[in-house]
């Protein structure tokens, strides 16, 4: 079977890497891919936004399954188009993808079906939103309703910051159409965890939990990014908490969408915060997380292609479940100097060939390009180094040891990824949720 992976980031390289291990897969194409996917697949000069061209290619090459990485083409209806042309594809249809494409849509679904989440108000008028800020305690969270490349969520520590965020949305239109509608949400405190699940609209197969790092600097300081690292599992997520997320969040939202006449197929990503008042949903995404994928999929022992086919064909209930390595995984992102602001591109990346000689260490490419025989930087988040270990201390040491072999001009990375997991592990093994039983929860 031939597979087409849509996207160009670290998530897509990880998906391509995992899919390439399946005996079902004959060849993989990536559109447009990156310097890493070029080594294990054939990159295509097709943009993720050109869904007609992607469908034409899939049809012309008799692609057996298309896997969509980023959210934009999903929200744009790539799955609807492919299904109309009788092409098999993994991902939610456009209406279902609104769980990420519209934060107000997701909030309304959560409120209607009793899914725990923070209190929020939705605004389409600048003055009304400012008035709300003036009459409520801070901090507050201001969110652009639509897709904003991960930059549309602002934690406002004071009223001035909240008003600046509203001006960005309504006045300067920093987020374009994504900021026409704004959600102002209560600020929640606690540990965050990401729990993703495969679903065909009826059966829900949850994955192992992961935790990511959004802030650019050590100690969770500085502006938010797309993610500077992640680890899996998450020691704070006990079996009881895991079951609560599955049974009070993931399964109810899939059932709630079905009640609305919306079948959700693909991956549902739940961004959860564990507060003193219980767990609450921060956000839903309609695709694999990045960099959570780089910490989750190295632990997956099941055949990813087999699972995705079952989801696309609506027969996930017949799948035997998911099998996971008991090892811990730590993924550290290597970024360009200046990210998440302005940064330069085109610097040669050295040392990646010296890493990954062990099957427990993999370098996943994100913002890279193959320049002749050389790999060069082409984005803000350039690489992520994922390492498996017997515990977090072991995995973390392997990841950072590998990073010391890699270099490019302006390379920056956080030094504290998974440090909190090492400190909190205290005798709890990485298989705390069971190695192969997670799929049955």
Q: What is the mean pLDDT of residues 203-218?
A: 96
Asked if residue 56 has pLDDT above 60, the reply is yes
CA 403 to mean position of chain CA atoms? 22
Asked if residue 367 has pLDDT above 70, the reply is yes
pLDDT of residue 357: 61
pLDDT of residue 224: 85
Structural domain boundaries in the chain: 2-91, 125-180, 191-428
User: Could you report the per-residue pLDDT of 345-357, keeping only the tens digit for each?
Assistant: 999 999 998 886 6
pTM for the complete prediction?
0.94
Asked if residue 358 has pLDDT above 90, the reply is no
User: The tokens of 306 are what?
Assistant: 């087999």
Asked if residue 400 has pLDDT above 50, the reply is yes
Beta strand 211-212 pairing with 328-336? unpaired
pLDDT of residue 282: 95
Cα(89)–Cα(97) distance, integer angstroms: 14
User: Could you report the per-residue pLDDT of 165-185, keeping only the tens digit for each?
Assistant: 999 999 999 998 989 999 999
∠ at Cα 439 (384, 111), nearest 5°? Answer: 85
Topology of 2-91 in CATH? Rossmann fold (3.40.50)
Asked if residue 6 has pLDDT above 50, the reply is yes
Asked if residue 219 has pLDDT above 90, the reply is yes
In a 13 Å sphere around the CA of 33, the CA atoms on its Cβ side amount to 20
User: Could you report the per-residue pLDDT of 234-274, keeping only the tens digit for each?
Assistant: 999 999 999 999 999 999 999 999 999 999 999 999 999 99
- Domain 191-428 in CATH 3.30.470.20: yes
pLDDT of residue 87: 98
User: Could you report the per-residue pLDDT of 263-303, keeping only the tens digit for each?
Assistant: 999 999 999 999 999 999 999 999 999 999 999 999 999 99
Tell me phi and psi for residue 419, to 5 degrees: -65, -40
pLDDT of residue 414: 98
Cα(189)–Cα(83) distance, integer angstroms: 41
Asked if residue 435 has pLDDT above 70, the reply is no
Q: Which percentage of the chain shows pLDDT scores above 70?
A: 96
pLDDT of residue 425: 74
Average pLDDT, the chain: 93
Cα(382)–Cα(35) distance, integer angstroms: 10
Asked if residue 333 has pLDDT above 90, the reply is yes
Asked if residue 428 has pLDDT above 80, the reply is no
* The architecture CATH gives domain 125-180: 2-Layer Sandwich (3.30)
b/e sequence 351-385, b meaning 16+ C-beta within 10 Å:
ebeebbeeebbbbbbbbbbbeeeebbbbbbbbbbb
CB-based burial label for 244 (10 Å; 0-12, 13-18, 19+): middle
**Which H, E and C letters describe the chain, residue by residue?**
CEEEEEECCHHHHHHHHHHCCCCCCCEEEEEECCCCHHHCCEECCCCCCCHHHHHHHHHHCCCCEEEECCHHHHHCCHHHHHHHCCCCEECCCCCCCHHHHCHHHHHHHHHHCCCCECCEEEECCHHHHHHHHHCCCCCEEEEECCCCCCCCEEEECCHHHHHHHHHHHHCCCCCHHHHCCEEEEECCCCEEEEEEEEECCCCEEECCCEEECCEEECCCEEEECCCCEEEECCCCCCHHHHHHHHHHHHHHHHHHHHHCCCCCCEEEEEEEEEECCEEEEEEEECCCCCCHHHHHHHHECCCHHHHHHHHHCCCHHHCCCCCECCCEEEEEEEEECCCCCCCCCCCECECHHHCCCCCCEEEEECCEEEECCEEEECCCEEEEEEEEECCHHHHHHHHHHHHCCCECCCEECCCCCCHHHHHHHCCCCCCCCCCCCHHHC
Cα(341)–Cα(223) distance, integer angstroms: 9
Range with lowest mean pLDDT among 122-131, 176-185, 296-305, 428-437: 428-437
């Amino acid at each position: 079977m031939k597979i087409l992976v849509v996207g160009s980031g670290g998530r897509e390289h990880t998906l391509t890497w995992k899919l390439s291990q399946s005996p079902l897969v004959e060849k993989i194409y990536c559109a447009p891919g990156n310097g890493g996917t070029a080594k294990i697949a054939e990159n295509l000069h097709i943009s993720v936004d050109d869904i007609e061209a992607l469908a034409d290619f899939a049809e012309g090459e008799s692609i057996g399954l298309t896997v969509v990485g980023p959210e934009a083409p999903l929200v744009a209806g790539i799955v609807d188009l492919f299904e109309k042309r009788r092409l098999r594809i993994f991902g939610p249809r456009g209406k279902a993808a609104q769980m990420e494409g519209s934060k107000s849509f997701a909030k309304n679904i959560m409120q209607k079906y009793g899914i725990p989440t923070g209190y929020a108000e939705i605004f389409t008028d600048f003055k009304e939103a400012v008035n709300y800020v003036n009459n409520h305690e801070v901090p507050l969270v201001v969110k652009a309703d639509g897709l904003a490349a991960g930059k549309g969520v602002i934690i406002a520590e004071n009223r001035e910051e909240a008003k600046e965020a509203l001006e960005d949305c309504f006045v300067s239109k920093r987020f374009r159409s994504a900021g026409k509608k704004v959600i102002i949400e209560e600020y929640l405190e606690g540990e965050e965890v990401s729990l993703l699940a495969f679903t065909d609209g009826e059966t829900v197969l949850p994955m192992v939990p992961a935790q990511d790092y959004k802030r650019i600097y050590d100690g969770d300081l500085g502006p938010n990014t797309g993610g500077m690292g992640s680890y899996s599992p998450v020691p704070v997520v006990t079996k009881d908490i895991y079951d609560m997320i599955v049974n009070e969040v993931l399964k109810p939202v899939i059932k709630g969408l079905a009640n609305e006449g919306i079948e959700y197929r693909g991956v549902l990503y739940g961004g959860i915060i564990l507060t003193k008042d219980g767990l609450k949903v921060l956000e839903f995404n309609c695709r694999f997380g990045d960099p959570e994928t780089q910490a989750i999929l190295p632990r997956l022992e099941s055949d990813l292609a087999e699972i995705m086919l079952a989801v696309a064909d609506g027969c996930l209930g017949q799948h035997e479940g998911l099998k996971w390595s008991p090892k811990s995984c730590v993924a550290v992102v290597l970024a360009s100097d200046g990210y998440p602001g302005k940064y330069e591109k085109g610097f040669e990346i050295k040392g990646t060939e010296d890493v990954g000689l062990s099957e427990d260490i993999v370098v996943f490419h994100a913002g890279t390009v193959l320049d002749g025989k050389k790999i060069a930087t082409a984005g803000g988040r350039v690489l992520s180094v994922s390492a498996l270990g017997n515990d977090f201390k072991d995995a973390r040491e392997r990841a950072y040891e590998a990073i010391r072999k890699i270099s490019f001009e302006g390379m920056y990375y956080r030094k504290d990824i998974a440090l909190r997991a090492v400190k909190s592990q205290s005798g709890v093994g990485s298989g705390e949720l069971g190695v192969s039983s997670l799929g049955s929860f």
